[in-house]
């Protein structure tokens, strides 16, 4: 039985390469070796514990990583600190923390990325590109989305500098890896006109469908045309017309190219006809099985009593809602409690709209005065801000839900009573708003807007995934 020692801990770096208790050899590049103690390494890493205790390995190959990174990794295991972590070995150290499941070291890497790598001395393109590529590779190779989120949140661009950066970042478009395209879309955010301009400039030099490469097709499939058309309608229209012209003038286009462009143009027509944002095909089905929800194991094990108690009914009760589309939920009692599960994701939003019997119809524009909205400001620290229309100023990042648990999976319940709006997260009350007394100055009539019983609740979210909505309102 291993001793009950909490890591990180300082075991003394002077014991690295000890001839007495260095019973494990780490083989580095160029034939170098480091002798380490299996107990110290196993206390930090369950992977190394399995390799040494169960598989009885006494030699571990480390030639996939730089010597500097391995040296930093080992010293961190022995000291509980990251003194040797630097920009040049960061990616390999972060990869080792991920591969060997050293949780505390992964958190140190995230902090180092935020405080050191995102700290630019000259604010040059090379510095920003270096940080962006680290985030892009971590997302693509290790499925670590937090680095891209940190980059987007902490790197401040004005529209001109963002445009300049993305033009250089996507230069040589035909040969850039697809992960760069995904990262560029994240960096562009709502300024998708920049991506559209890059695409138009690239296609202008290859004005034939036959010369469409895989990256062009990939970008056309990934581009959020709903957001693009609503934010920059004229530039979006120019791109659609440009693609239509290419399609009409080329007779040698392959079926895949024709299909992709035709689909893109068709989705644009649907937007014009319906006057609303089009959903990605991945989010077109609202009745998703619980098995499709990323992190199912975390949900089942997270202690959410409601989920655990559902047993056979879990899959019929919990579902993934449509992204950016209002859904009407019918309450069964005068006290409406809407429940949903989230798996983080900074800057994602959730809206609830409460309608009264006196309302003509449950349309969002008819009841803006009774809308509750919440947004994740920082997933790592569980910071969430909220808005209550008609009661407080509708500015995000100014009113916050308090004591939100830092659990990865969050089970939310939003309840509107006759006089209050209450929010709990994993059984912790994070908001209990009294319409009559808790309103901001200038909103003295808030109780007249909110007090009463509802006839229905509407749900809306920007989550593409990582959110499950309970189909029943109790």
Q: Which of 72-81, 241-250, 319-328 has the lowest mean pLDDT?
A: 241-250
Q: Which of 28-37, 223-232, 247-256 has the lowest mean pLDDT?
A: 247-256
**pLDDT tens readout for residues 419-451:** 889 999 988 889 999 888 888 888 888 877 888
Q: How confident is the model at residue 313 (pLDDT cuts 50, 70, 90)?
A: very low
Whether 300 shows a pLDDT value over 90: the answer reads no
**pLDDT tens readout for residues 375-395:** 888 877 888 889 998 888 777
Determine the pLDDT at residue 25.
97
**pLDDT tens readout for residues 46-59:** 999 999 999 999 99
**pLDDT tens readout for residues 80-128:** 999 999 999 999 999 999 999 999 999 999 999 999 999 999 989 999 9
Determine the pLDDT at residue 287.
33
Determine the pLDDT at residue 271.
59
Determine the pLDDT at residue 169.
96
Q: Does 471 or 109 have the greater pLDDT score? A: 109
**Please, what is the average pLDDT of the chain?**
81
Strand ranges across the sheet with 24-27: 33-36, 24-27, 59-61
Q: Which of 15-29, 143-157, 189-203 has the lowest mean pLDDT?
A: 189-203
For 413, other C-beta atoms within 10 Å of its C-beta total 18
User: Which helix (H) or strand (E) is 271 found in, with range?
Assistant: helix 255-274
Tokens 């169960």 belong to residue: 54
Whether 361 shows a pLDDT value over 90: the answer reads no
How far apart CA 393 and CA 306 sit, in angstroms, is 34
How far apart CA 429 and CA 235 sit, in angstroms, is 46
On whether the CB atoms of residues 279 and 323 are closer than 8 A, the answer is: yes
């Amino acid at each position: 039985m291993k001793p009950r020692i909490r890591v990180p801990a300082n075991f003394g770096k002077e014991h690295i390469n000890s001839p007495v208790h260095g019973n494990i050899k780490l083989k580095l590049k160029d034939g170098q070796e480091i002798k380490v103690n299996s107990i110290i390494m196993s206390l930090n890493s369950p992977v190394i514990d399995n390799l040494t205790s169960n598989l009885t390995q006494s030699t571990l190959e480390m030639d996939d990583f730089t010597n500097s990174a391995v040296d930093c990794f080992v010293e961190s295991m022995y000291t509980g600190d990251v003194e040797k972590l630097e920009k040049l070995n960061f990616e390999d150290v972060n990869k080792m923390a991920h591969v060997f499941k050293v949780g505390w070291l992964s958190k140190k890497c995230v902090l180092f990325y935020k405080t050191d790598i995102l700290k630019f001395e000259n604010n040059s393109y090379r510095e920003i590109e270096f940080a962006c590529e680290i985030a892009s590779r971590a997302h693509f190779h290790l499925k670590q989305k937090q680095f891209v989120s940190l980059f987007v949140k902490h790197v401040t661009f004005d529209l001109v500098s963002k445009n300049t950066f993305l033009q250089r970042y996507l230069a040589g478009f035909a040969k850039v890896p697809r992960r760069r395209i995904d990262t560029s879309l994240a960096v562009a955010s709502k300024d998708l006109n920049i991506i559209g301009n890059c695409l138009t400039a690239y296609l202008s030099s290859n004005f034939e469908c036959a010369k469409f490469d895989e990256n062009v097709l990939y970008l056309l499939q990934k581009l959020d045309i709903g957001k693009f058309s609503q934010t920059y309608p004229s530039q979006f229209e120019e791109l659609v017309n440009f693609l239509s012209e290419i399609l009409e003038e080329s007779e040698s286009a392959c079926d895949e190219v024709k299909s992709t462009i035709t689909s893109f143009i068709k989705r644009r027509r649907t937007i014009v006809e319906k006057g609303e944002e089009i959903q990605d095909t991945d989010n077109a089905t609202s009745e998703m099985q619980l098995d499709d929800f990323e992190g199912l194991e975390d949900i089942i094990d997270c202690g959410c009593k409601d989920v655990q108690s559902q047993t056979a009914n879990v899959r019929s009760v919990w579902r993934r809602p449509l992204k950016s589309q209002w859904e009407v939920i019918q309450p069964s009692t005068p006290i409406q409690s809407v429940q949903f599960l989230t798996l983080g994701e900074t800057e994602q939003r959730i809206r609830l709209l409460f309608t009264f019997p006196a309302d003509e119809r449950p349309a969002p524009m008819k009841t803006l005065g009774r809308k509750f909205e919440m947004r994740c400001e920082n997933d790592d620290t569980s910071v969430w801000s909220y808005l209550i229309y008609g009661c407080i100023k509708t500015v995000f990042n100014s009113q916050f839900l308090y004591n939100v648990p830092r659990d990865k999976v969050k089970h939310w319940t939003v309840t509107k009573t006759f006089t209050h709006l209450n929010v709990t997260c994993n059984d912790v009350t994070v908001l209990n708003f009294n319409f009559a007394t808790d309103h901001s100055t200038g909103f003295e009539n808030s109780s007249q807007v909110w007090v009463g019983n509802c006839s229905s609740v509407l749900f809306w979210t920007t989550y593409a995934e990582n959110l499950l909505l309970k189909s029943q309102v109790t």
